[in-house]
Amino acid sequence: MTMTILASACNDKAGRNPLLADFDTPFGVPPFEQIREEHYLPAFEEAIREARDEVKAIASDPEAPTFENTIVALERSGQRLGAIAAVFFNLNEAETSDAMQQIALEVSPRLTELDNDIVLDPVLFERVKTVYEKRDSLSLTSEQRMLLDKAYKRFVRNGAGLSDEDKTAYREISTELSNLTLKFGQNVLGATNAFYLHLTDSADLAGLPATVVEGAAEEAKARNLEGWVITLQMPSMLPFMQYSERRDLREKVWKAYNGRALGGEFDNTENVKRIAELRMRVAALLGYPTYAEYVLEEKMAGNTQTVNEFLEQLLERAMPYARKDYETVNRYAKAQGLDSDVMPWDWAYYTEKYKHEHYNLSDEMTRPYFRLENVQKGMFMLANKLYGLEFRENPALPKYHPDVKAFEVYDGDSSLLAVLYIDYFPRASKRGGAWMTSFREQYVDENGKDVRPVVSLVCNFTKPTASTPSLLTFDEAETILHEFGHALHGMLSKGTYESLTGTSVRHDFVELPSQLMENWMTEKEFLDLWAEHYETGEKIPQELIDRIVAAQNYLSGYANSRQLSFGLTDMAWHTITAPVKEDIISFEKKAMDKTRVTPAVDTTCFSTSFSHIFAGGYAAGYYGYKWAEVLDADAFSLFKEKGIFNREVAQSFRDNVLSKGGSENPMDLYVRFRGRKPTTDAFFERSGLK
């Protein structure tokens, strides 16, 4: 993410670069308000030099390699660099600028070079290998064995065993990949910000709720324009697609969103092909048939066959329901006067109308009960009921933007657990979506001190206006609970080694804590504690909750088919065995065809903005969302059986999952919590796909 950086001198008043000094702040959080853009490059240069010296000392240690002087020493090396990188790259996502993006392009190759120099150093690898080969005689704890295993695989899976010629090729590929994935994300942000729909005729607002019109007017005012502006930011675009009666304008906005970075100034077309090709070449160098096989070796699923069978199993269940969903909506739309089949830009509009008519439910009916402040109160209350946590807002803590809120988080015994930042609202300098990240992970330092984490939640929710507070949709409220689940995974961590704590787990396991939290959003016992009308104070009515529950599986088949289409597209790009020569629209179409419900639109392409896999950590791993849904449904069934606030079940989940991070095999952790391996029964039942 990025920060608001003010122009100024390179150093603070004492002449120091704040990134190179110990963070003299409450709880050691980053001194955001002291940091300027010009601090970053000097800080990175110094920290990279320091990291190189630390690693060089490990490699040249005259003592025989041991777990402590090699494996733990490597784990502890580069801490200053890690802290600087956490600040810079987190802020480059949440508050970026042209200068920050340029710094990222300059710094990323240097970091890749450093990492390559470490893992491709034959002397260092020999020390790691020596310890690894003696692992059975070292009397290591399970956590220490996991750290050793991870350290050894870090070298092997990143080319340590390659010939000198192949090491050179690996260096070149990894450097290019680092630059391309960074550029991909920058292009998506640029393309998202480049489009806006400027409306000057009030007739173009037909169907839009007053809150949407007010928000569009404020967006126009912020741009010094008359009238109203709709952007591709989700809080602006989604309600427009749901309520606008102007089909031609819905089509324009939909095509703009689904054609982001497809041609034009921010074109990602060749970046997609090149990233996929380079990943294929990495896999081949390391002896894997495809990049997916390389990635999945370190996932719960284990291999491509398991993932493909999993996706096909869900697809077989979901597609009959998905087709039925489309037929239902298509019939309804035609009865409403649509003179053609429902197109993708019609979907949100007619499904919202259908939901309102058949379930007496709409986003505008539920929004008044999900005032942002109350949603926040509710999620903090849930953490208190389950885990005994207390959240105290501290406005005095350093922040990187005025919108950000900062909280001290305390455990049930009143000990400090973490610092939590929450950044709720969209802006041009922030990428879209919602995510959790950390400015510092939990670990135990060399003096035995438990260093607590600094966690951040970043969202893009509807901003308050002059007359209306921020009112979330049900989906947005569910989203913040999801990201809060990730935050709990980070905050409740209790481990020794930073690389094994918090969310540092296998990617098809990391979504379990987050998706589990979503389940409480349809529980009356939970909603009754905080969900009240922002104007009248009325508790959310039981009959409205009943309608939410009744509509929970509305379009479940379609929703599942959509998620599966992303998973299949991800797998298609990462199981190639030759560079993709065809145009990416046709490549993507073939990957998605068996999941398609609405008609295809040949002028759009999802891959060019698929940041999860081309700019994030989900390459060959997007299936993990559905994988984790099976886990979370199975896990929540135990809460349903014992009580949704049952402290014994919650404590077991905390002890066996949330606090363990990646210190043990995730299936072992899950079985310890659940008493058995997960089944798909609860998932299919909850999804209405029985």
Is residue 107 predicted with pLDDT exceeding 60? yes
pLDDT, tens digit (0-9, with 9 covering 90-100), for 31-68: 999 999 999 999 999 999 999 999 999 999 999 999 99
CA torsion, ordered 526, 528, 533, 534, to nearest 10 deg:
-60
**Distance from C-alpha of 47 to C-alpha of 78, rounded to nearest angstrom:** 7
Q: Is 10 exposed, middle or buried (0-12, 13-18, 19+ CB in 10 A)?
A: middle
Please give the pLDDT value at position 160: 97
Tell me the two tokens of residue 228.
């109203």
List the catalytic residue out of 483, 523, 588, 629: 483
Is residue 298 predicted with pLDDT exceeding 50? yes
**Distance from C-alpha of 282 to C-alpha of 275, rounded to nearest angstrom:** 11
Considering the chain, what percentage of its residues have pLDDT values greater than 90? 96
Tell me the two tokens of residue 117.
């120099």
**Distance from C-alpha of 465 to C-alpha of 384, rounded to nearest angstrom:** 31
Q: Which residue has the higher pLDDT, 689 or 601?
A: 601
DSSP string covering 621-671:
TTTHHHHHHHHHHHHHHHHHHH-TT-HHHHHHHIIIIITTTTSS-HHHHHH
Mean per-residue pLDDT for 232-259?
A: 97
Q: Is 314 exposed, middle or buried (0-12, 13-18, 19+ CB in 10 A)?
A: buried
Tell me the two tokens of residue 351.
């499904």
Q: E strands, 161-320, where?
A: 196-199, 228-231
Please give the pLDDT value at position 385: 98
pLDDT, tens digit (0-9, with 9 covering 90-100), for 433-464: 999 999 999 999 999 999 999 999 999 998 99
pLDDT, tens digit (0-9, with 9 covering 90-100), for 136-183: 999 999 999 999 999 999 999 999 999 999 999 999 999 999 999 999
Please give the pLDDT value at position 10: 47
* Nearest alpha-carbon partner for 225 in 263, 197, 185, 194: 197
**Distance from C-alpha of 578 to C-alpha of 411, rounded to nearest angstrom:** 52
**Distance from C-alpha of 460 to C-alpha of 423, rounded to nearest angstrom:** 8
**Distance from C-alpha of 279 to C-alpha of 49, rounded to nearest angstrom:** 29
- For 388, half-sphere exposure in the C-beta direction (CA atoms, 13 angstrom radius) is 12
Q: Which residues contact 234 (CB under 8 A, 6 or more apart)?
A: 426, 432, 433, 460
Please give the pLDDT value at position 689: 85
Mean pLDDT across the chain: 95
Where does the pLDDT of residue 262 fall: very low under 50, low under 70, confident under 90, or very high at 90 and above? very high
Mean per-residue pLDDT for 666-675?
A: 97
Is residue 4 predicted with pLDDT exceeding 50? no
Instruction: Name the one residue in this structure whose structure tokens are 């409205």.
Output: 544
Distance of CA 180 to the CA centre of its chain: 19
**Distance from C-alpha of 500 to C-alpha of 147, rounded to nearest angstrom:** 7
pLDDT, tens digit (0-9, with 9 covering 90-100), for 542-589: 999 999 988 988 999 999 999 999 999 999 999 999 999 999 999 999
Which amino acid is located at 256 in the chain?
A: A
Told to judge if 46 belongs to the known catalytic residues of this protein, a careful annotator would answer no
Where does the pLDDT of residue 8 fall: very low under 50, low under 70, confident under 90, or very high at 90 and above? very low
Q: Which residues contact 138 (CB under 8 A, 6 or more apart)?
A: 67, 131, 144
pLDDT, tens digit (0-9, with 9 covering 90-100), for 469-496: 999 999 999 999 999 999 999 999 999 9
**Distance from C-alpha of 596 to C-alpha of 590, rounded to nearest angstrom:** 10
End-to-end CA distance of the chain: 41
Mean per-residue pLDDT for 397-403?
A: 97
Where does the pLDDT of residue 6 fall: very low under 50, low under 70, confident under 90, or very high at 90 and above? very low
Q: Domain boundaries in the chain?
A: 26-119+121-157, 195-258
For domain 26-119+121-157, give the CATH superfamily: Endopeptidase. Chain P; domain 1 (1.20.1050.40)
Tell me the two tokens of residue 575.
């199981």
Is residue 13 predicted with pLDDT exceeding 50? no
pLDDT, tens digit (0-9, with 9 covering 90-100), for 71-81: 999 999 999 99
Helix axis angle for 304-335 and 624-642, nearest 10°, is 80
Tell me the two tokens of residue 600.
């295809």
Pairing status of strand 416-423 against strand 405-410: antiparallel
Please give the pLDDT value at position 220: 97
Please give the pLDDT value at position 381: 98
